[in-house]
Amino acid sequence: MPTEIEELVEFLHHGNTQIRQIAAENLVGFSTAQPSLFKRVQLEPIKDLKLLVRDYGPIAKNALTMLINLSDDKEIVENLAKDDVLLESLLKRITSPKDPNANEIAMLLANMAKSDEMKRILALERDVPKDLSTSKNAMDQLMDCFVKGAAGSYNKHSDYDYLSYFFADIAKFEEGRNYFLSTRPYDSVIPLSKIVVFTEHKSHIRRKGVASTIKNVSFEVNSHPLLLSSDENPLIPTEDNNSTTNIDTSGSTGVNLLPYILLPIAGPEEFAEHESMAMLTDLQLLPPDKERDPDPAIITTHLETLLLLTTTREGRDYMRSAAVYPLVRETHLHVENEEVREACDRLVQVIMRDEEGEEKPLPPMAEEELQKLQKKEAQKGGVVGEVKEADDEETIEEVL
């Protein structure tokens, strides 16, 4: 005989709207406290919740909240990610300028992106939401939501910040990285270049998701020249050099990524004139009230991205010429966090070492820093060795 709670679950598909609403309201807490309730009878309650996403606003909000809470279960997330009808329903609502639950939909999409099934969204075409985009591609539409909808500027009910977590998971797939690095036909812009501007946004969620997206895209080593290239520093390879990738960079001068990941780790410290003059223009003469990102995890993510970008000789040389070392040095000195300092140590070991066959004297402060690292490694029984690729012993795991 079913318990009272099990009977309440069955009311999720009741024909009376008020009864469905009462059931949904009272079951939200059980989606975390007793998730097994929703896996009964071959996930029948999950089927009901997917239908309720299309119900009246308050009911849909509770249904979305429950699906968000339940989607850490592999069986449930696979069920959601495979459902084409649900995906279209979510896309229709999140691209609407009036849907009151767009933020919850963004959160659910982020959880669904844990499944490989969600790769299909990269090629998915659907009706164009005319107030939002001119592209039929679903990913383009979500990108436009994220960029145009920040701080409620497209939908007053939503800031779309959690789409940054969705992007970070999509960027774990090779197809996803190709998307973020390819010029889009509808606006002739590289998607990654649209989101890097949010690395110093006031929203912690947005900054964190964007940082993770950038890092995951940076695992595409062949595209490092594109990431670092700008009008002042053209590094994009020729067509012949880039022929092994599926990335279309036509018409682009690059993403100019470096200043966007250095600014969040920069503080108010003053630098010697020769150091300041060597830095990128955006990093010179920062105001005395400049603040680093307050979240050490985000700083660590940016430092790990910098480490990935040292995989190639070209990337290492560019960071040396852009005086990245002084910024990392000050971050190491002023951020009292073990993970941040370890990430700084690893990065310094790479960018301040001589390349093979090109031994040169290090600047005095860099020499002192390197001696400290050597002493630290000796105490741990390790050795500060040659420059290593980022996927060797210094492998960085993808995030989110």
Structure tokens at 164: 């940054």
Q: Where are the domains of the chain?
A: 1-70, 171-380
pLDDT in the model for residue 118 = 98
| 55, amino acid identity | D
| 243, amino acid identity | S
Span 149-161, pLDDT tens digits? 998 999 999 999 9
The share of the chain scoring above pLDDT 70, in percent, equals 85
Q: Which among 62, 68, 67, 22 has a CA at the least distance from the CA of 46?
A: 67
Over 70: is that where the pLDDT of 261 sits? yes
The answer to whether the CB of 118 falls within 8 A of the CB of 81 is yes
Using the CB atoms, write b or e for 165-189: b if 16+ within 10 Å. bbbbbbbbbeebbbbbbbbbeeeee
Dist. CA 273–CA 270, nearest whole Å:
9
pLDDT: which is higher, 240 or 49: 49
Cα dist from 337 to 154, 215, 286, 340, whole Å: 38, 20, 23, 5
Residue 126, sorted as left (phi over 0), alpha (psi -120 to 50) or beta, turns out to be: beta
Over 80: is that where the pLDDT of 385 sits? no
CATH code that applies to domain 171-380 = 1.25.10
Over 80: is that where the pLDDT of 311 sits? yes
Over 90: is that where the pLDDT of 133 sits? yes
Specify which residues 125 forms β-bridges with. 137
Over 80: is that where the pLDDT of 171 sits? yes
Average of per-residue pLDDT values in the chain: 88
**For residue 24, what pLDDT band results from cuts at 50, 70 and 90?**
very high
Q: Model's pTM, two decimal places? A: 0.87
Span 210-234, pLDDT tens digits? 999 999 999 999 999 999 998 777 7
**For residue 360, what pLDDT band results from cuts at 50, 70 and 90?**
low
Over 60: is that where the pLDDT of 168 sits? yes
The answer to whether the CB of 170 falls within 8 A of the CB of 209 is no
**For residue 60, what pLDDT band results from cuts at 50, 70 and 90?**
very high
Over 70: is that where the pLDDT of 391 sits? no
**For residue 5, what pLDDT band results from cuts at 50, 70 and 90?**
confident
Least confident window among 49-58, 242-251, 279-288, 325-334: 242-251
Dist. CA 175–CA 39, nearest whole Å:
32
**For residue 375, what pLDDT band results from cuts at 50, 70 and 90?**
low
